[in-house]
Amino acid sequence: MSETMTRSQPRTLVLHAADNIAVALANLEVGSATPQGPVIVRRVPKGHKFALRPIGQGEAILKFGQIIGFAKEAIVPGDWVHEHNCGMGGADGSLTHDYAFGEGVVPPEMLAVADRATFEGYRRANGSVGTRNYVGILTSVNCSATVAKFIAEGINRSGILDDYPEIDGVVPFVHGTGCGMESRGEGFDILKRTQWGYTSNPNLGAAMLVGLGCEVFQIGRMKEIYGIVESDTFQTMTIQESGGTRKIIEWGIERIKEMLPVAARARRQTVDASELTLALQCGGSDGYSGITANPALGYAADILVRNGGTAILSETPEIYGAEHLLTRRALSREVGEKLIERIHWWEDYTARNHGEMNNNPSPGNKLGGLTTILEKSLGATAKGGSTPLTAVYEYAEKVTEKGFVFMDTPGFDPVSATGQVAGGANVLAFTTGRGSAYGCKPVPSIKLATNSDMYARMSEDMDINCGDIVEGVSIEDKGREIFEVILKTASGAPTKSESLGYGDNEFVPWQVGATM
């Protein structure tokens, strides 16, 4: 990465020697000279791109040394490069990559146990470790959502939680499905995995599952599938079984009151960083995301992996066009092929719903300087660092492998993070360039700003400013800073989103299949 400077601040950035574009780090007006030589011929907004040399119609446009699109028309040096003159290439919006698989890829060198970083976590009876200690109320179906909320409100209004400082709160996790669906197949399996994944997440000290009674998603069936036995930290009931709304609310409040002293027995203890499972997220991305916050978070993920922990990259539509970089890191051919199978599933899924993968960049992404899904994906994939890819999981599957793994999820942040938490994530790091406001109970969400302007505007929402990377801070130093914040957060330090009260409404299971 080479920087060109005007006075004390960089104004343009060339990311790779092979690139035929540069990134503007300030608004570049017509007539502005650039250190690389071209004079700006069309205004280039901050975070956007301009041509370094002539680019012929149909020629590949390169950023990070990788293809981000193809010129729709001839582009002259100094011209703004964006949607008007840069497209995906093929008429169907697709791009063919060489899916080579890693050969000779070996697991990363791990730190000895005695040398690993530590944090203060809650060791659960099954050996897992939580970073928070919530009591959750889940619903089998949308029809029981109101009841779950009333039970949680009854507890929270009562003031009883003041007697249990070790409990972070009682949270209803409600959703909009559970009936009007097939009782088998992808949609049902996803909901089943998500529900049990949240119930068993180590950040819940106790859980309750409330249903209506006649829905497609039957509580009894889930309990049978997973061998779940009710206990003093897990209870279930349906509205119809209990005798109606008022009675089940009373029942639920009493059961939660009985669970509280049990959940409150948990105490933080020192454990090493191998017990951390970090969800990697990005939302409201901009032209800085792949330059600052995402590679810095990737460096932090590498540190975590060397400490024996796990980092989960997700958002399959947002690695589209960069997946060939991940297959080369796969620890085995089987792992790489599973990733490509999920890519092909998404190509078919979008096609049969009359969409295309390049629909993913949002208006906010494009306003921030991202032009195609290829460009967005190259930046998003940087969150995954550089260590080998050890496993690929379907949505909400329990993550059992250590190291850097991938989970197939949509790009929509709440849906994606819900799958990661169901898979066992106990802490989350979320990069944003436009300023996504997001929380993720029962998992703390650490917000990383990609640029200093947005961080200054939204400092009450952002935990870390990564914009100073373009001002001289190294990606390595910022990555180490992020890792230290992850450890402090896992030990109980509240994130900005937690202090603001975010997280009650971000439980959004992925709905796949027909609603009937």
Closest residue by Cα to residue 197 from 222, 218, 167: 222
Output the pLDDT for position 5.
36
pLDDT in tens, 430-482: 999 999 999 999 999 999 999 999 999 999 999 999 999 999 999 999 999 99
Q: What is the DSSP letter of 75?
A: B
With helix as H, strand as E and coil as C, how does 385-397 read?
A: CCCCEEEEECCCC
pTM of the model: 0.94
Query: Which residues neighbour 158 within 8 Å (Cβ) at sequence distance 6 or greater?
Result: 253
State the pLDDT at residue 70. 92
pLDDT at position 360 is: 61
Which pLDDT does position 3 carry in this prediction? 42
pLDDT in the model for residue 1? 45
Query: For strand 9-14 and strand 2-6, is the pairing parallel, antiparallel, or unpaired?
Result: antiparallel
Residues of the chain where predicted confidence (pLDDT) is lower than 50: 1-9, 91-93
CA dist list (Å): 328 to 98, 173, 334, 446: 10, 38, 12, 29
Strands 234-238, 204-211: pairing kind:
parallel
Which residue type is seen at 242? S
Residue labelled with tokens 């779950």: 148
CB 417, CB 506: distance < 8 Å: yes
Read off the pLDDT of residues 94-139 as tens digits, 9 standing for 90 and up. 566 778 887 778 888 899 999 999 999 999 999 999 999 999 999 9
Q: Which residue has the tokens 């454990």?
A: 271
